[in-house]
Structure 1
Amino acid sequence: MELLLFALIPLAALVLDLVVGEPPNKFHPVVWMGKVIGFFDEHVSRKNQRHDRLCGVFVSLLPIIIFTLAFTLILGAVRIYGGEYGLLIWAILCALLFSTLFAIKSLGTHTLPIMKDLQNHDLEAARKKAAMVVSRDVNKLDEAHVISCASETVAENLVDSVLSPMFYFGLAGIPGATILRVANTEDGMIGYLSEKHQNVGRFAAKLDDVLHYLTARLSVPFIMLASALLGYDWRSAWRVAKRDHQQTSSPNKGWPMAAIAGALGIKMEKEGHYSLGDGELGNDPANIAQTVRLMRYTSLLFFIIVLLPLYLLIGLHVQLFLENYLFGLF
């Protein structure tokens, strides 16, 4: 009976994400993470490279420690001291919390409206929505590059926002997914592309690269499998991923982006930075919907084949051990 309850935790989280999506900001743990990261970042005095990089280590590690400890202790307290219904309440809280640490539905929520604007021949509205999901200047992008922006966002976030949180949940339950989510949020906020964060954000950026290294490469066979099921070109997914993945500045993002571009027979291009895939940029807004569909199938396959067995065999037991160990210390 307990095994069934444990298995229902990730299943319930998946249903919550697909049906409900992201909670309001004031209830969203990732928003809380961002506020804590921003607080520490604003209180770092910039002096010299060595000082700033050392401070950056603490700016990165402190939020990870704070949120991992907090979530683990709260869940442990509910399970250990919750009485007759403690385990059930614990399982519900785990499902609710995990559902906020990955994002399948929101990737479509943020990009499919761009497709609708383009189908309605409203390029300006599509540009405005694209500006909300990419950091580049979109004001002068033509329709094909706006389509590419949306497809790129879905493809690269397949790893960052879906597969990696699922993988680390499989390895260490809520503590594992929390570590990954905090680190990824730090990379997005203080990654060292800006002058302000070139030293303070260096550790965060490197940590994020390390944490996504395996899942970025593991994404390719799952994209290929999903492509085969959907009737896309799974062979081209591997060929293009192998050929083009090194074009991006990130050591990881090129893998899922190039694989999806190859599978769908489209090109993803950021002028002056990379051009992934074959042929010319497409002008069909439906490319965005195809990217979202392939992302969803890939996510579900990864959930079934990797997350579920990994969590039941390893992650669940790691989480329970950490909860018990922390309470033993106190």
Structure 2
Amino acid sequence: MIYHMTAFLAGFILDLFVGDPIGFPHPVRWIGNLISYLTEFFLNKAERILEPEKTNKLKRRYGLIMVIIVITISAGICFAILHVAYTLNSILGVIIETVITYQCIATKSLYVESMKVYKALKSQGLDVGRKAVSMIVGRDTACLDEKGVIKAAVETVAENTSDGIIAPLIYLAIGGPVLGIAYKAINTMDSMVGYKNEKYMDFGRAAAKLDDVVNFIPARVSAVLMIIGCLFLGRDYSMTGAFRIFKRDRFNHASPNSAQTESVCAGALGIQLAGPASYFGKIVDKKYIGEPIRSVELDDIKRANILMLATAIICEVLLICTVVIFTGIAYGLISQ
């Protein structure tokens, strides 16, 4: 447990300062390549059937098979690497576990990518800002005005505070890098095939549903931690506003999880997020989240990132304390 907690803390710190350097090997990229290959293979196989009803059923079945394959291979390889490393040398095991832990978290990456939008809008104009935000959102960005670009960046930071940071930390604390990698595999599958369009509606169903399940508790934990984080961040953040909008708007999204943190962020900053958006050329009528107490402004991207960082640090500290306390209790019971 000492080794695990050392790697858990070191990996978090490493992510805060290093992030995701361009060109550096990353397991999520390898998982993404595996998903791409399996998606093309299974969809091509399913589409050979000319009867639409049979094709759709086959896509759902193949989508489930892909989920099982990707999770098994990803977690299995991670387990094998850690097993060999710890068998050879405990210090080597801690180092390998630290690196994998660090690669499961996206704190610095989320901060850097969202701040590219901030910098682009501030110094290079709307067109560059649209291009920057298109790298971190799934919606169409060509038609967005400046406030639309800012809202998209803020929403991404708020949503990914859960998906990219808090959820991985929770699973890493519970099951180490093996469970952490399994979570990242699920989350990556959802981001690649979990779309409600003609191509992925059936094939991506299993991945999307499983992602909803594994993020159900982390999303709500993230929201609570974000509310607590407002307490330490000064007058730009309203803790009461965050809690009020969270209670009211936390289900204003097609996903049962996405609006949990978006509602807290909107309430904390006193702005309105979400609303109708364009995806693949079609307008999707999404509910609004929050109240337009004031107009969205460029510095809201910075504010959302500060709230994200505070939430991540609070989560890391609480998880370490929780694991240490429960380990101590378990050790005491075993010793009696």
Q: TM-score, normalised by structure 2?
A: 0.88
1:214 matched residue in structure 2:
217
2:279 matched residue in structure 1:
none
Structure 2 CA distance for aligned equivalents of residues 276 and 150 of structure 1: 15
2:250 matched residue in structure 1:
245
1:324 matched residue in structure 2:
none
Q: Over the residues paired in the alignment, what is the CA RMSD in angstroms?
A: 1.8
3-state SS of 2:231 partner:
helix
2:58 matched residue in structure 1:
51
Give yes or no for contact 1:247–1:275 (8 Å, CA) kept in 2. yes
Report the AA paired with residue 292 of structure 2. Answer: G
1:37 matched residue in structure 2:
35
Structure 2 CA distance for aligned equivalents of residues 57 and 24 of structure 1: 32
Structure 2 CA distance for aligned equivalents of residues 312 and 191 of structure 1: 38
Residue of 78, 81, 85 corresponding to 2:85: 78
Shift of 1:242: 1.4
Asked whether 1:296 is paired with 2:299, we answer: no
Structure 1 CA distance for aligned equivalents of residues 205 and 195 of structure 2: 5
1:12 matched residue in structure 2:
10
Report the AA paired with residue 298 of structure 1. Answer: T
Report the AA paired with residue 247 of structure 1. Answer: N
3-state SS of 2:274 partner:
strand
2:170 matched residue in structure 1:
167
Shift of 1:114: 1.4
Aligned residues: 309
Asked whether 1:279 is paired with 2:292, we answer: yes
Shift of 1:59: 0.7
Q: Measured at CA, do residues 63 and 263 of structure 1 come closer, stay the same or move farther in structure 2, by a change above 3 Å? A: same
Structure 1 CA distance for aligned equivalents of residues 12 and 106 of structure 2: 9
1:233 matched residue in structure 2:
238
Report the AA paired with residue 300 of structure 1. Answer: I
Q: How does 1:42-191 map to 2 (within 5 A)?
A: 42-44=40-42, 45-46=45-46, 47=49, 48-80=55-87, 82=88, 86-120=89-123, 122-191=125-194
Q: Measured at CA, do residues 135 and 280 of structure 1 come closer, stay the same or move farther in structure 2, by a change above 3 Å? A: farther
When structure 1 is superposed on structure 2, of 119-128 and 166-175 the one drifting more is: 119-128
Asked whether 1:258 is paired with 2:272, we answer: no
Structure 2 CA distance for aligned equivalents of residues 50 and 313 of structure 1: 45
Give yes or no for contact 1:7–1:312 (8 Å, CA) kept in 2. no
Shift of 1:117: 2.4
Q: Measured at CA, do residues 10 and 312 of structure 1 come closer, stay the same or move farther in structure 2, by a change above 3 Å? A: farther
Identity of aligned residues (%): 30
Give yes or no for contact 2:227–2:243 (8 Å, CA) kept in 1. yes
Give yes or no for contact 1:156–1:257 (8 Å, CA) kept in 2. yes
Q: Measured at CA, do residues 280 and 189 of structure 1 come closer, stay the same or move farther in structure 2, by a change above 3 Å? A: same
Shift of 1:77: 1.4
Give yes or no for contact 1:269–1:276 (8 Å, CA) kept in 2. yes
Residue of 295, 299, 305 corresponding to 2:318: 305
Q: Measured at CA, do residues 151 and 129 of structure 1 come closer, stay the same or move farther in structure 2, by a change above 3 Å? A: same
Give yes or no for contact 1:138–1:146 (8 Å, CA) kept in 2. yes
Shift of 1:134: 1.1
- Give deviations 1:243-278, integer Å, cap 9, x for gaps: 112211111000000011101112112423131111
When structure 1 is superposed on structure 2, of 16-25 and 302-311 the one drifting more is: 302-311
Shift of 1:61: 1.1
Q: Measured at CA, do residues 73 and 234 of structure 1 come closer, stay the same or move farther in structure 2, by a change above 3 Å? A: same
- Give deviations 1:145-178, integer Å, cap 9, x for gaps: 1110000010000111101100111111111101
2:282 matched residue in structure 1:
none
Q: Measured at CA, do residues 111 and 11 of structure 1 come closer, stay the same or move farther in structure 2, by a change above 3 Å? A: same
- Give deviations 1:295-324, integer Å, cap 9, x for gaps: 00001101110255337857xx9xxxxxxx
Q: Measured at CA, do residues 52 and 220 of structure 1 come closer, stay the same or move farther in structure 2, by a change above 3 Å? A: same
3-state SS of 1:94 partner:
helix
Structure 2 CA distance for aligned equivalents of residues 261 and 310 of structure 1: 32
